[in-house]
Amino acid sequence: MTQQLAVAVLGANGRMGAEAVKAVEAAADMKLVAALGRADSLDQLASSGTRYVVDLTVPESTEANVRFAVEHGMHAVVGTTGWDASRLATLEALLAAKPETGVLIAPNFALGSVLASALAAKASKYFESVEIVELHHPDKVDAPSGTAVRTAQLIAAERAAADVPPSPDATTSERAGARGCDVDGIRVHSVRLRGLVAHQEVLLGGPGEQLTFRHDSFDRASFMPGVLLGLRNVAAHPGLTVGLDGYLDLGF
Amino acid sequence: MTQQLAVAVLGANGRMGAEAVKAVEAAADMKLVAALGRADSLDQLASSGTRYVVDLTVPESTEANVRFAVEHGMHAVVGTTGWDASRLATLEALLAAKPETGVLIAPNFALGSVLASALAAKASKYFESVEIVELHHPDKVDAPSGTAVRTAQLIAAERAAADVPPSPDATTSERAGARGCDVDGIRVHSVRLRGLVAHQEVLLGGPGEQLTFRHDSFDRASFMPGVLLGLRNVAAHPGLTVGLDGYLDLGF
Amino acid sequence: MTQQLAVAVLGANGRMGAEAVKAVEAAADMKLVAALGRADSLDQLASSGTRYVVDLTVPESTEANVRFAVEHGMHAVVGTTGWDASRLATLEALLAAKPETGVLIAPNFALGSVLASALAAKASKYFESVEIVELHHPDKVDAPSGTAVRTAQLIAAERAAADVPPSPDATTSERAGARGCDVDGIRVHSVRLRGLVAHQEVLLGGPGEQLTFRHDSFDRASFMPGVLLGLRNVAAHPGLTVGLDGYLDLGF
Amino acid sequence: MTQQLAVAVLGANGRMGAEAVKAVEAAADMKLVAALGRADSLDQLASSGTRYVVDLTVPESTEANVRFAVEHGMHAVVGTTGWDASRLATLEALLAAKPETGVLIAPNFALGSVLASALAAKASKYFESVEIVELHHPDKVDAPSGTAVRTAQLIAAERAAADVPPSPDATTSERAGARGCDVDGIRVHSVRLRGLVAHQEVLLGGPGEQLTFRHDSFDRASFMPGVLLGLRNVAAHPGLTVGLDGYLDLGF
């Protein structure tokens, strides 16, 4: 029999953390050994036999959490934001001393979203035109979404590497804002609509044809397959990995 | 046997006119009695027994064409642009003296497009949020499209009449243009993509649900059912009608 | 000051009923005066001053609930299924003796869904082709959905009344089931996909153009605006109304 | 200066062939040296200095055309159907004697379509559910389309290799055909609608999310970028390649 992964969830009282607790408990190949909230001591990780940590806390505590995990030889899967270049460099130095320990820092755990961005970027160099439309609930404060910005950057980099010229655009008369915003030369449009959750379309166009990648996130549950996939693969990827796509078998 | 409608096409050498010639010839209940180009004299209308005129010419000649038709008691279906308020007033005065003659001036003959705008406007008052995304080929010079502007105006009027508050929007941090342009309080986004022709989505959102009206124009052929519907109904609508929706049996 | 509507919810412990309790409590123009479960006596309706009843119970009890309401001069908004022709006839006879009391029986409270079906049917007579694609979660046991069947029947009736011929179809070689099922001459396709809730597309096609009506139900919350709209309008519609579209101001 | 590719088009009077003639003439890195119709002798290929042949003829003549090209050391890009296993085996034997000559046989030259199928198959193993909806004009005689069948087979193979269980489906009551047809365990639905050209959606679903790949072919022009990409790459791929995806740089 395969041994179950001994998993602890940090931030277990948050909305994402609570989902993760349920997902780990429901996974046949995992065992939840600890579920810690803000007030709990990290020492419980060691005493509970934790081998894998899921960090879904806040930017203020994630760095200390991951440091503790790495120092104790526990693998970590991290969904918390706030990992800037300086923090990542410190973490890499720490990991250099623990060559068998893996850390995954993933700004986005929705498999479909990560796949859509990666595949659309890969395909984008075969098309004259590319634009992005992202659609969210109207309580969102930033436009465009962080995911749309990262998708546009990925696409721009892929097209630049293949020497694809900018998307054609004959617009000479524009009502301000009609053509969206510009992210690294890619036009991005942000729709805000009651009832929506989080949705994104990448539109690629060439003579006589269109290729569209659409991702719909209906529910926080959509992040859990990505968290579980991270847990199942982190031990096989020692060192630091940024982005869930590093674990996807897409061949590139 | 029902008598065939005796139809003349003006602007028969243009792209739209050539389509109209084919459509009239293919219609069992119509007979093409004249097809005039720029150089031809309008006198051929009278000599050919024309009872119905389709004007698909240019803004410079459409007014004289329609005047000639009305003065000779011919009904007219007009797709040419350039009919401002002053021209329309002159035409109405002319029609007052010809109480049995009908003129239809239609900025858009695509039935699906006209229906989508009219029905979306009607439905929009039942939803918290509304936005428009229009998508066209990248050789288009204006953004947003005229159709999108008219659709937004229709929606804004319908919502104002029903005292619907503005669509909610919590955006506080926006990259310039991300949220589209504003037409009478409705956000409109313009996508330009090689391969596309003319497409429009009206997105309505309420708690937990979305209603979308999408129209795709793949081909100029899409205008011909509207032209034929205009010809079949213009005699039954004496006086001036602006907009094909005046002939549609939608009950409103 | 306008007086608040005194509303009772029957079936308050069910999933839909619990949503209705929240929605009524949140509505400024309504007051929740009773919330009854299976074990509670209907006499509480009279003692609580109920003027409006929302019935979201089960087919076994809905008829008795509505009879009690009508006999006490309370208006009723009913979302429970099980109202066959015989029950409806009995209810109409009962209402004949209460000319000021209104009852709405609505198989579907999602405004967007009701609107999409009604408007698509209205528009369908202007197009050569029509098909329906409905998409639901994979735990649904029937295919196609009841909503898709009703939509197809509405469309078929509208097209028959306008003498529209059947949608063209040159298929001579079909893998069994590829072309969907046939509902009154309309092709309906049922997709079942993990992650989805309840979605439907009506596709209309003519030469060179397509008009699509898409409705997405993401959440049971989508039914509540329809329940509230029913409550606000039922008193103004004495007698029996079947279908929420009877209360919508679409002009037809 | 890079030398231009010397290209001959076979089947130059057919609809696809005529498009190819225009596309080759418009490509700066190519020179059209011959355009042959049914009655023309293949000897013109040799006399015109042809180095690259595009075969867009008919199943009856494609085999002889390609044989002639290979025997003369010309590379061939073939869009004609009719290449069964026996013909392919004969061709491979012939190519074995010409180790520097390349032949591409591509059942589909639409880049977007080829990309959509390949990428959707790759992504499909990360999702519980997958279904395909293909949409075409109503004059098409087969359902589902050949492209949909091939896409379903690709997906089925990819999921089998990753031990993904069948898509869940609780349907117990089905109107015949509602759930589409079955291609290697994948449900495929075929819509036929006036106005459409050729369109396909691959729908992937997991808990709380959906990923959709949609390809729209609006026009035969959509095949030409694929033909040109084939011509530019065939010399670098000696031997036989079946399927344009063999030339795409997707990393898998």
ipTM: 0.87
For the cut 90, the answer to whether the pLDDT of residue B217 exceeds it is: yes
For the cut 70, the answer to whether the pLDDT of residue C33 exceeds it is: yes
Q: What pLDDT sits at residue C249? A: 77
- pLDDT tens profile C92-101: 999 999 999 9
Chain D CB contacts of A209 below 8 Å:
110-113, 215-219, 222
- pLDDT tens profile A186-206: 999 999 999 999 999 999 999
Assess A165–B contact: CB distance below 8 Å, yes or no.
Answer: no
Q: What pLDDT sits at residue B231? A: 97
Inter-chain CB proximity B221 and C208 less than 8 Å: yes
Q: How many CB atoms lie within 10 A of CB C48?
A: 16
Do the domain assignments include residue B252? no
D241 and D158 co-located in one domain: no
For the cut 60, the answer to whether the pLDDT of residue A244 exceeds it is: yes
Q: Return the minimum-mean-pLDDT range out of A162-171, B133-142, C25-34, D240-249.
A: D240-249
Mean pLDDT of the D88-101 span? 96
For the cut 70, the answer to whether the pLDDT of residue B1 exceeds it is: no
A91 and A129 co-located in one domain: no
C133 and C201 co-located in one domain: yes
D42 and D91 co-located in one domain: yes
A212 and A225 co-located in one domain: no
Assess C250–A contact: CB distance below 8 Å, yes or no.
Answer: no
- pLDDT tens profile C139-156: 999 999 999 999 999 999
A78 and A119 co-located in one domain: no
Do the domain assignments include residue D252? no
Neighbors of chain C with 3 or more C-beta pairs under 8 Å: A, B, D
Distance from CA of D71 to the nearest CA of B (A): 39
Contacts 24+ apart (CB under 8 A), A40-45: A42/A68, A44/A8, A45/A8, A45/A69, A45/A72, A45/A74
Q: What pLDDT sits at residue C251? A: 59
Mean pLDDT of the A125-143 span? 96
D171 and D140 co-located in one domain: yes
For the cut 60, the answer to whether the pLDDT of residue A252 exceeds it is: no
The domain total for chain C is 2
Q: What are B95's two structure tokens?
A: 């029609």
Best residue of A122, A209, A252 to probe chain D, by most D CBs closer than 10 Å: A209
Inter-chain CB proximity D111 and A220 less than 8 Å: no
A160 and A94 co-located in one domain: no
Assess C195–A contact: CB distance below 8 Å, yes or no.
Answer: yes
- In this prediction, residue B228 has a pLDDT band, given cuts at 50, 70 and 90, of very high
For the cut 70, the answer to whether the pLDDT of residue C42 exceeds it is: yes
For the cut 90, the answer to whether the pLDDT of residue B219 exceeds it is: no
For the cut 90, the answer to whether the pLDDT of residue A126 exceeds it is: yes
Assess A110–D contact: CB distance below 8 Å, yes or no.
Answer: yes
Query: Considering only alpha carbons, which residue of chain B is nearest residue D220?
Result: B195
Its sign, for the CA torsion C231, C235, C236, C240, is: positive
Assess B222–D contact: CB distance below 8 Å, yes or no.
Answer: yes
- pLDDT tens profile D104-138: 999 889 899 999 999 999 999 999 999 999 999 99
C86 and C159 co-located in one domain: no
Best residue of D215, D219, D220, D223 to probe chain B, by most B CBs closer than 10 Å: D219
Assess D196–A contact: CB distance below 8 Å, yes or no.
Answer: no
Give every CB contact of residue B21 below 8 A, 6+ residues apart in sequence. B9, B12, B32, B35
Q: What is the CATH number of the domain that holds D165?
A: 3.30.360.10
Chain B CB contacts of D110 below 8 Å:
none
Chain D CB contacts of C183 below 8 Å:
175
- In this prediction, residue B148 has a pLDDT band, given cuts at 50, 70 and 90, of very high
Q: What pLDDT sits at residue C26? A: 95
Q: What is the CATH number of the domain that holds A46?
A: 3.40.50.720
For the cut 90, the answer to whether the pLDDT of residue D250 exceeds it is: no
Do the domain assignments include residue A145? yes
- pLDDT tens profile C106-143: 988 989 999 999 999 999 999 999 999 999 999 999 99
Q: What pLDDT sits at residue D252? A: 52
Q: What pLDDT sits at residue A245? A: 87
Q: What pLDDT sits at residue C250? A: 73
Do the domain assignments include residue A252? no
Distance from CA of A116 to the nearest CA of D (A): 7
Distance from CA of B218 to the nearest CA of A (A): 10
d(CA C170, CA D18): 27
Mean pLDDT of the A106-112 span? 89
Mean pLDDT of the D53-65 span? 95
Inter-chain CB proximity C122 and B251 less than 8 Å: yes
For the cut 80, the answer to whether the pLDDT of residue B127 exceeds it is: yes
For the cut 80, the answer to whether the pLDDT of residue C2 exceeds it is: no
Q: What percent of chain A has pLDDT over 90?
A: 91
- Annotated active-site residue in A75, A136, A189, A215: A136
Do the domain assignments include residue D135? yes
Q: Is A140 designated active site?
A: yes
Mean pLDDT of the D48-60 span? 96
Q: What pLDDT sits at residue C219? A: 86
B72 and B131 co-located in one domain: no
Do the domain assignments include residue C35? yes
**Are B239 and B95 spatial neighbours (Cβ–Cβ below 8 Å)?**
yes
Q: What pLDDT sits at residue B3? A: 86
- In this prediction, residue A49 has a pLDDT band, given cuts at 50, 70 and 90, of very high
Domain of C50, in residue numbers: 5-105+221-247
Outline where DSSP puts E strands in chain D.
5-10, 30-36, 52-55, 75-78, 102-105, 129-136, 142-143, 173-174, 181-183, 186-192, 198-206, 209-217, 239-242
Mean pLDDT of chain B: 95
Inter-chain CB proximity D112 and A206 less than 8 Å: yes
B212 and B229 co-located in one domain: no
- pLDDT tens profile A66-90: 999 999 999 999 999 889 999 999 9
Cα–Cα separations (whole angstroms), residue A100 to A71, A96, A239, D92: 11, 9, 7, 49
d(CA D96, CA B214): 53
Do the domain assignments include residue B126? yes
Q: What pLDDT sits at residue B25? A: 97
Q: What pLDDT sits at residue A59? A: 92
B117 and B214 co-located in one domain: yes
Do the domain assignments include residue C252? no
Distance from CA of A71 to the nearest CA of B (A): 39
